[in-house]
Protein backbone atom coordinates (compact mmCIF):
# COMPACT_ATOMS: atom_id res chain seq x y z
CA UNK A 1 0.00 0.00 0.00
CA UNK A 2 1.19 3.49 -0.87
CA UNK A 3 -0.52 5.57 1.78
CA UNK A 4 -0.73 9.25 0.89
CA UNK A 5 -3.66 10.27 3.11
CA UNK A 6 -1.83 11.27 6.27
CA UNK A 7 -3.82 14.48 6.78
CA UNK A 8 -6.84 12.21 7.31
CA UNK A 9 -5.10 9.85 9.68
CA UNK A 10 -1.67 8.34 10.27
CA UNK A 11 -0.44 4.85 11.03
CA UNK A 12 0.01 4.36 14.79
CA UNK A 13 3.74 4.11 15.50
CA UNK A 14 5.39 1.21 17.34
CA UNK A 15 5.89 3.27 20.51
CA UNK A 16 2.20 4.23 20.59
CA UNK A 17 1.07 0.64 20.04
CA UNK A 18 3.40 -0.61 22.78
CA UNK A 19 2.11 2.01 25.24
CA UNK A 20 -1.54 1.34 24.35
CA UNK A 21 -1.04 -2.42 24.72
CA UNK A 22 0.78 -2.25 28.04
CA UNK A 23 -1.84 0.12 29.43
CA UNK A 24 -4.64 -2.22 28.33
CA UNK A 25 -2.96 -5.35 29.64
CA UNK A 26 -1.00 -4.17 32.69
CA UNK A 27 -1.62 -0.60 33.82
CA UNK A 28 -5.38 -0.63 33.35
CA UNK A 29 -6.28 0.95 36.67
CA UNK A 30 -8.58 3.93 37.04
CA UNK A 31 -6.54 7.09 37.75
CA UNK A 32 -9.26 8.19 40.19
CA UNK A 33 -8.94 5.08 42.41
CA UNK A 34 -7.08 5.82 45.61
CA UNK A 35 -5.43 2.39 45.98
CA UNK A 36 -1.96 1.62 44.72
CA UNK A 37 -3.10 0.38 41.30
CA UNK A 38 -5.07 3.58 40.72
CA UNK A 39 -2.19 5.74 41.91
CA UNK A 40 0.07 4.03 39.34
CA UNK A 41 -2.49 4.86 36.65
CA UNK A 42 -2.62 8.46 37.87
CA UNK A 43 1.17 8.61 37.61
CA UNK A 44 1.03 7.34 34.02
CA UNK A 45 -1.60 9.97 33.27
CA UNK A 46 0.61 12.70 34.76
CA UNK A 47 3.67 11.53 32.79
CA UNK A 48 1.59 11.43 29.61
CA UNK A 49 0.36 14.96 30.21
CA UNK A 50 3.96 16.14 30.61
CA UNK A 51 4.97 14.56 27.29
CA UNK A 52 2.07 16.01 25.33
CA UNK A 53 2.47 19.42 26.99
CA UNK A 54 6.18 19.51 26.16
CA UNK A 55 5.40 18.77 22.52
CA UNK A 56 3.37 21.96 22.25
CA UNK A 57 5.55 24.15 24.46
CA UNK A 58 3.10 24.22 27.34
CA UNK A 59 3.04 23.44 31.05
CA UNK A 60 1.34 20.17 32.01
CA UNK A 61 -1.40 21.82 34.04
CA UNK A 62 -2.58 23.69 30.93
CA UNK A 63 -3.26 20.51 28.91
CA UNK A 64 -6.60 18.67 29.20
CA UNK A 65 -7.15 15.34 27.48
CA UNK A 66 -10.24 14.95 25.30
CA UNK A 67 -11.65 12.44 22.82
CA UNK A 68 -10.05 14.32 19.93
CA UNK A 69 -9.87 17.70 18.27
CA UNK A 70 -13.59 17.71 17.49
CA UNK A 71 -14.33 17.69 21.22
CA UNK A 72 -11.55 20.19 21.96
CA UNK A 73 -12.95 22.61 19.37
CA UNK A 74 -16.55 22.18 20.54
CA UNK A 75 -15.50 22.62 24.15
CA UNK A 76 -13.64 25.88 23.74
CA UNK A 77 -16.26 27.41 21.42
CA UNK A 78 -19.26 26.64 23.64
CA UNK A 79 -17.29 27.48 26.79
CA UNK A 80 -16.29 30.90 25.40
CA UNK A 81 -19.93 31.62 24.55
CA UNK A 82 -21.10 30.49 27.99
CA UNK A 83 -18.43 32.44 29.89
CA UNK A 84 -18.29 35.60 27.78
CA UNK A 85 -21.72 35.76 26.12
CA UNK A 86 -22.81 38.52 28.52
CA UNK A 87 -19.91 40.75 27.45
CA UNK A 88 -20.43 40.41 23.73
CA UNK A 89 -22.02 38.35 21.02
CA UNK A 90 -19.49 38.59 18.21
CA UNK A 91 -17.32 35.71 16.99
CA UNK A 92 -14.70 35.68 14.25
CA UNK A 93 -13.60 32.60 12.38
CA UNK A 94 -12.61 31.75 8.81
CA UNK A 95 -14.56 30.25 5.95
CA UNK A 96 -11.94 27.50 5.68
CA UNK A 97 -12.07 26.01 9.18
CA UNK A 98 -12.71 22.33 9.72
CA UNK A 99 -16.37 21.51 10.33
CA UNK A 100 -15.46 20.75 13.96
CA UNK A 101 -15.12 24.53 14.34
CA UNK A 102 -17.66 25.73 11.78
CA UNK A 103 -20.59 23.64 12.97
CA UNK A 104 -20.53 24.63 16.65
CA UNK A 105 -20.06 28.27 15.60
CA UNK A 106 -23.03 27.98 13.20
CA UNK A 107 -25.06 26.66 16.12
CA UNK A 108 -24.14 29.72 18.18
CA UNK A 109 -25.01 31.91 15.20
CA UNK A 110 -28.49 30.42 15.11
CA UNK A 111 -28.75 31.13 18.86
CA UNK A 112 -28.15 34.87 18.33
CA UNK A 113 -24.38 35.35 18.07
CA UNK A 114 -23.11 37.34 15.10
CA UNK A 115 -20.26 35.71 13.21
CA UNK A 116 -17.67 37.18 10.83
CA UNK A 117 -16.25 34.58 8.43
CA UNK A 118 -12.85 35.75 7.15
CA UNK A 119 -12.40 34.80 3.51
CA UNK A 120 -9.13 33.32 2.22
CA UNK A 121 -7.20 34.43 -0.84
CA UNK A 122 -6.87 32.14 -3.85
CA UNK A 123 -4.16 30.13 -2.08
CA UNK A 124 -6.18 29.64 1.10
CA UNK A 125 -4.38 32.18 3.29
CA UNK A 126 -6.30 34.50 5.61
CA UNK A 127 -4.85 37.97 6.13
CA UNK A 128 -4.06 39.87 9.29
CA UNK A 129 -5.60 42.97 7.73
CA UNK A 130 -8.95 41.17 7.33
CA UNK A 131 -8.83 40.08 10.96
CA UNK A 132 -8.04 43.65 12.01
CA UNK A 133 -11.04 44.94 10.06
CA UNK A 134 -13.35 42.35 11.61
CA UNK A 135 -12.35 42.75 15.29
CA UNK A 136 -14.87 44.68 17.43
CA UNK A 137 -15.05 45.69 21.08
CA UNK A 138 -17.77 43.06 21.56
CA UNK A 139 -15.76 40.23 19.95
CA UNK A 140 -15.53 37.39 22.47
CA UNK A 141 -13.91 34.64 20.42
CA UNK A 142 -11.56 34.37 17.46
CA UNK A 143 -11.00 30.83 16.16
CA UNK A 144 -8.49 30.47 13.32
CA UNK A 145 -6.75 27.24 12.36
CA UNK A 146 -2.94 27.10 12.30
CA UNK A 147 -2.67 25.01 9.12
CA UNK A 148 -5.49 24.29 6.70
CA UNK A 149 -6.01 20.61 6.00
CA UNK A 150 -6.84 21.06 2.29
CA UNK A 151 -4.77 24.01 1.03
CA UNK A 152 -1.83 23.52 3.40
CA UNK A 153 -1.98 27.29 4.07
CA UNK A 154 -0.26 28.39 7.27
CA UNK A 155 -1.98 31.23 9.13
CA UNK A 156 0.02 33.90 11.05
CA UNK A 157 -1.33 32.75 14.43
CA UNK A 158 1.13 34.57 16.68
CA UNK A 159 0.44 37.95 15.04
CA UNK A 160 -3.29 37.22 14.94
CA UNK A 161 -3.42 36.38 18.66
CA UNK A 162 -1.48 39.53 19.51
CA UNK A 163 -3.73 41.70 17.36
CA UNK A 164 -6.86 40.13 18.88
CA UNK A 165 -5.73 40.77 22.45
CA UNK A 166 -4.69 44.35 21.63
CA UNK A 167 -7.95 45.21 19.87
CA UNK A 168 -10.67 43.24 21.65
CA UNK A 169 -9.98 43.07 25.37
CA UNK A 170 -12.47 40.30 26.16
CA UNK A 171 -11.79 38.06 23.19
CA UNK A 172 -10.25 34.62 23.52
CA UNK A 173 -8.01 33.47 20.68
CA UNK A 174 -8.29 29.78 19.81
CA UNK A 175 -6.40 27.88 17.14
CA UNK A 176 -7.18 24.43 15.75
CA UNK A 177 -3.59 23.21 15.45
CA UNK A 178 -4.38 19.63 14.39
CA UNK A 179 -2.45 19.87 11.13
CA UNK A 180 0.39 21.88 12.67
CA UNK A 181 1.62 19.49 15.36
CA UNK A 182 4.98 18.05 14.26
CA UNK A 183 4.50 19.64 10.83
CA UNK A 184 5.81 23.04 11.91
CA UNK A 185 7.11 24.62 15.12
CA UNK A 186 4.23 24.78 17.62
CA UNK A 187 4.77 26.48 20.98
CA UNK A 188 1.39 27.26 22.54
CA UNK A 189 2.67 29.61 25.24
CA UNK A 190 5.02 31.50 22.94
CA UNK A 191 2.28 31.84 20.31
CA UNK A 192 0.22 33.75 22.87
CA UNK A 193 -3.00 31.89 22.13
CA UNK A 194 -5.61 31.31 24.83
CA UNK A 195 -6.59 27.87 23.57
CA UNK A 196 -5.24 25.30 21.13
CA UNK A 197 -6.62 21.97 19.91
CA UNK A 198 -4.62 18.90 18.88
CA UNK A 199 -5.46 15.34 17.90
CA UNK A 200 -3.59 12.07 18.47
CA UNK A 201 -4.40 10.15 15.31
CA UNK A 202 -2.84 12.79 13.05
CA UNK A 203 0.53 12.21 14.72
CA UNK A 204 0.87 8.42 14.73
CA UNK A 205 -1.14 7.80 17.92
CA UNK A 206 -4.52 6.09 18.19
CA UNK A 207 -7.93 7.53 17.34
CA UNK A 208 -10.30 9.00 19.90
CA UNK A 209 -7.72 10.99 21.83
CA UNK A 210 -6.76 14.64 21.69
CA UNK A 211 -6.14 17.58 23.93
CA UNK A 212 -7.15 21.14 24.57
CA UNK A 213 -4.54 23.61 25.81
CA UNK A 214 -5.96 26.41 27.92
CA UNK A 215 -3.57 29.23 28.83
CA UNK A 216 -2.50 29.22 32.48
CA UNK A 217 -5.06 31.08 34.56
CA UNK A 218 -7.83 30.84 31.96
CA UNK A 219 -10.91 29.35 33.60
CA UNK A 220 -13.54 28.07 31.21
CA UNK A 221 -16.59 25.95 32.01
CA UNK A 222 -16.58 22.25 31.19
CA UNK A 223 -18.34 20.82 28.14
CA UNK A 224 -18.69 17.33 29.64
CA UNK A 225 -19.72 17.44 33.26
CA UNK A 226 -19.34 14.35 35.38
CA UNK A 227 -16.89 12.78 37.74
CA UNK A 228 -14.51 15.67 38.21
CA UNK A 229 -11.68 14.31 36.05
CA UNK A 230 -9.23 16.65 34.30
CA UNK A 231 -9.35 19.19 37.16
CA UNK A 232 -13.14 19.17 37.04
CA UNK A 233 -13.10 20.40 33.45
CA UNK A 234 -13.76 17.19 31.52
CA UNK A 235 -15.86 14.53 33.19
CA UNK A 236 -15.42 10.89 32.20
CA UNK A 237 -12.87 8.21 33.10
CA UNK A 238 -9.72 9.06 31.21
CA UNK A 239 -8.98 6.98 28.10
CA UNK A 240 -5.63 6.08 29.57
CA UNK A 241 -4.50 3.55 26.92
CA UNK A 242 -4.97 6.08 24.11
CA UNK A 243 -3.58 8.92 26.23
CA UNK A 244 -0.44 6.87 26.98
CA UNK A 245 -0.20 6.07 23.25
CA UNK A 246 -0.52 9.75 22.36
CA UNK A 247 2.26 10.58 24.83
CA UNK A 248 4.50 7.83 23.44
CA UNK A 249 3.97 9.08 19.88
CA UNK A 250 4.83 12.60 21.04
CA UNK A 251 7.98 11.37 22.80
CA UNK A 252 9.09 9.57 19.63
CA UNK A 253 8.50 12.57 17.38
CA UNK A 254 9.94 15.12 19.78
CA UNK A 255 13.34 13.69 18.97
CA UNK A 256 12.89 13.54 15.21
CA UNK A 257 10.35 16.14 14.15
CA UNK A 258 12.87 18.64 12.77
CA UNK A 259 14.33 15.97 10.50
CA UNK A 260 10.84 14.65 9.71
CA UNK A 261 9.71 18.12 8.61
CA UNK A 262 12.81 18.57 6.43
CA UNK A 263 12.21 15.15 4.83
CA UNK A 264 8.52 15.91 4.16
CA UNK A 265 9.47 19.30 2.71
CA UNK A 266 11.90 17.62 0.28
CA UNK A 267 9.24 15.07 -0.73
CA UNK A 268 6.72 17.86 -1.22
CA UNK A 269 9.13 19.75 -3.50
CA UNK A 270 9.78 16.59 -5.51
CA UNK A 271 6.07 15.81 -5.71
CA UNK A 272 5.18 19.32 -6.85
CA UNK A 273 7.98 19.34 -9.44
CA UNK A 274 6.87 16.01 -10.91
CA UNK A 275 3.16 16.83 -10.86
CA UNK A 276 3.72 20.21 -12.51
CA UNK A 277 4.98 18.38 -15.60
CA UNK A 278 1.68 16.55 -16.06
CA UNK A 279 -0.55 18.21 -18.68
CA UNK A 280 -4.02 19.05 -17.35
CA UNK A 281 -2.91 19.03 -13.70
CA UNK A 282 -3.15 22.18 -11.57
CA UNK A 283 -1.60 22.48 -8.13
CA UNK A 284 -3.99 24.09 -5.65
CA UNK A 285 -3.46 26.04 -2.45
CA UNK A 286 -0.48 27.59 -0.71
CA UNK A 287 1.00 24.25 0.42
CA UNK A 288 3.01 26.13 3.06
CA UNK A 289 2.85 23.13 5.38
CA UNK A 290 5.27 20.36 4.35
CA UNK A 291 2.80 17.48 4.24
CA UNK A 292 0.06 18.58 1.84
CA UNK A 293 -0.05 18.57 -1.97
CA UNK A 294 -3.52 19.26 -3.36
CA UNK A 295 -4.11 19.26 -7.09
CA UNK A 296 -6.90 19.18 -9.63
CA UNK A 297 -7.36 17.17 -12.80
CA UNK A 298 -9.86 19.34 -14.58
CA UNK A 299 -12.56 17.42 -16.42
CA UNK A 300 -12.18 14.32 -14.23
CA UNK A 301 -14.16 13.48 -11.10
CA UNK A 302 -12.44 13.20 -7.73
CA UNK A 303 -14.00 9.85 -6.86
CA UNK A 304 -12.94 8.39 -10.20
CA UNK A 305 -9.35 9.53 -9.64
CA UNK A 306 -9.33 8.10 -6.10
CA UNK A 307 -10.67 4.76 -7.37
CA UNK A 308 -8.20 4.59 -10.24
CA UNK A 309 -5.26 5.32 -7.93
CA UNK A 310 -6.57 2.81 -5.43
CA UNK A 311 -6.52 0.11 -8.12
CA UNK A 312 -2.79 0.84 -8.33
CA UNK A 313 -2.43 0.56 -4.55
CA UNK A 314 -2.21 4.33 -3.98
CA UNK A 315 -4.44 5.93 -1.33
CA UNK A 316 -5.22 9.65 -1.53
CA UNK A 317 -8.26 11.68 -0.52
CA UNK A 318 -10.73 14.26 -1.72
CA UNK A 319 -9.81 17.29 0.35
CA UNK A 320 -11.15 16.86 3.83
CA UNK A 321 -11.83 13.18 4.49
CA UNK A 322 -14.63 14.26 6.83
CA UNK A 323 -16.80 15.87 4.17
CA UNK A 324 -17.29 13.03 1.75
CA UNK A 325 -19.70 13.67 -1.05
CA UNK A 326 -19.77 17.44 -0.61
CA UNK A 327 -17.98 20.00 -2.74
CA UNK A 328 -15.13 21.27 -0.57
CA UNK A 329 -16.09 24.43 1.33
CA UNK A 330 -12.39 25.27 1.55
CA UNK A 331 -11.71 25.18 -2.18
CA UNK A 332 -15.04 26.94 -2.79
CA UNK A 333 -14.04 29.77 -0.41
CA UNK A 334 -10.72 30.02 -2.29
CA UNK A 335 -12.81 30.61 -5.43
CA UNK A 336 -11.29 27.67 -7.25
CA UNK A 337 -13.37 27.05 -10.40
CA UNK A 338 -16.02 24.34 -9.82
CA UNK A 339 -14.58 22.18 -12.64
CA UNK A 340 -11.28 22.04 -10.73
CA UNK A 341 -12.93 21.44 -7.35
CA UNK A 342 -14.81 18.49 -8.81
CA UNK A 343 -11.50 16.92 -9.86
CA UNK A 344 -9.49 17.89 -6.77
CA UNK A 345 -7.40 15.37 -4.87
CA UNK A 346 -5.16 15.69 -1.83
CA UNK A 347 -1.97 13.73 -1.31
CA UNK A 348 -0.62 14.10 2.22
CA UNK A 349 2.58 12.86 3.78
CA UNK A 350 3.98 11.76 7.10
CA UNK A 351 7.40 10.85 8.48
CA UNK A 352 6.83 7.40 6.91
CA UNK A 353 6.35 8.64 3.34
CA UNK A 354 9.15 7.78 0.93
CA UNK A 355 10.45 9.09 -2.39
CA UNK A 356 9.26 5.83 -3.97
CA UNK A 357 5.68 6.66 -2.82
CA UNK A 358 5.87 10.07 -4.48
CA UNK A 359 7.34 8.63 -7.68
CA UNK A 360 4.58 6.01 -7.83
CA UNK A 361 1.92 8.74 -7.63
CA UNK A 362 3.64 10.83 -10.30
CA UNK A 363 3.91 7.79 -12.59
CA UNK A 364 0.34 6.69 -12.06
CA UNK A 365 -1.37 10.01 -12.71
CA UNK A 366 -0.72 10.29 -16.48
CA UNK A 367 -2.12 6.75 -16.89
CA UNK A 368 -5.15 7.66 -14.79
CA UNK A 369 -5.75 10.76 -16.92
CA UNK A 370 -5.48 8.71 -20.10
CA UNK A 371 -7.80 5.97 -18.85
CA UNK A 372 -10.44 8.25 -17.34
CA UNK A 373 -10.22 11.09 -19.86
N1 LIG B 1 -9.42 19.94 12.75
C2 LIG B 1 -8.70 19.65 11.66
C3 LIG B 1 -7.97 20.74 10.96
C4 LIG B 1 -8.64 18.34 11.16
O5 LIG B 1 -7.91 18.06 10.07
C6 LIG B 1 -9.37 17.33 11.84
C7 LIG B 1 -9.39 15.93 11.31
O8 LIG B 1 -9.77 15.70 10.18
C9 LIG B 1 -10.10 17.67 12.98
C10 LIG B 1 -10.11 18.99 13.41
C11 LIG B 1 -10.88 16.63 13.77
O12 LIG B 1 -10.01 15.92 14.60
P13 LIG B 1 -10.49 14.59 15.37
O14 LIG B 1 -10.57 13.51 14.34
O15 LIG B 1 -9.43 14.35 16.40
O16 LIG B 1 -11.80 14.88 16.01
Residue 34 lies inside a defined structural domain of this protein: yes
pLDDT of residue 326: 78
Residues 264, 244 within the same domain:
no
Last residue of a domain, one of 254, 284, 315: 254
Q: CATH number of the domain at 319, please.
A: 3.90.1150.10
Q: How many domains does the chain have?
A: 2
Continuous H helices in 151-226? 157-167, 188-191
Give the domain range for residue 81. 14-254
Q: Which residues line ligand 1 (CB under 6 A)?
A: 68-70, 98, 100, 145, 149, 176, 178-179, 199, 210, 322
DSSP for 316-331, written as a single string: -BSS-GGGTTS--HHH
Residue 9 lies inside a defined structural domain of this protein: no
pLDDT tens by residue, 207-265 = 999 999 999 999 999 999 999 999 999 999 999 999 999 999 999 999 899 999 999 99
Mutate to test the pocket of ligand 1, among 6, 12, 74, 98 (most ligand atoms within 8 A of CB): 98
pLDDT tens by residue, 153-164 = 999 999 999 999
Residue 56 lies inside a defined structural domain of this protein: yes
Ligand 1 centre from 118 Cα, in Å?
20
Residues 140, 193 within the same domain:
yes
Q: Is 103 exposed, middle or buried (0-12, 13-18, 19+ CB in 10 A)?
A: middle
Residue 355 CA to chain centroid, in angstroms? 25
User: Rg of the chain's alpha carbons, rounded to an integer?
Assistant: 21
- The band of 287, judged by pLDDT with boundaries at 50, 70 and 90, is very high
Ligand 1 centre from 6 Cα, in Å?
12
Amino acid sequence: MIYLDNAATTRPCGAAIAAITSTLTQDWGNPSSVHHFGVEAARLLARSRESVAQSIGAQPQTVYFTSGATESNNWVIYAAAERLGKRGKHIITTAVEHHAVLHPIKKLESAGFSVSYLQPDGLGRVSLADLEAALRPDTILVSIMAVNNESGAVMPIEAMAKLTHRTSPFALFHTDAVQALFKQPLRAKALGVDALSISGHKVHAGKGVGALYLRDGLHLPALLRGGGQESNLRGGTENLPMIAGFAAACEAQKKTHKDDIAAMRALQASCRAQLEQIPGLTLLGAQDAPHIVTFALEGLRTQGIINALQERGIYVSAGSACSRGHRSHVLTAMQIPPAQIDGAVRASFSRETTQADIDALAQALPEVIENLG
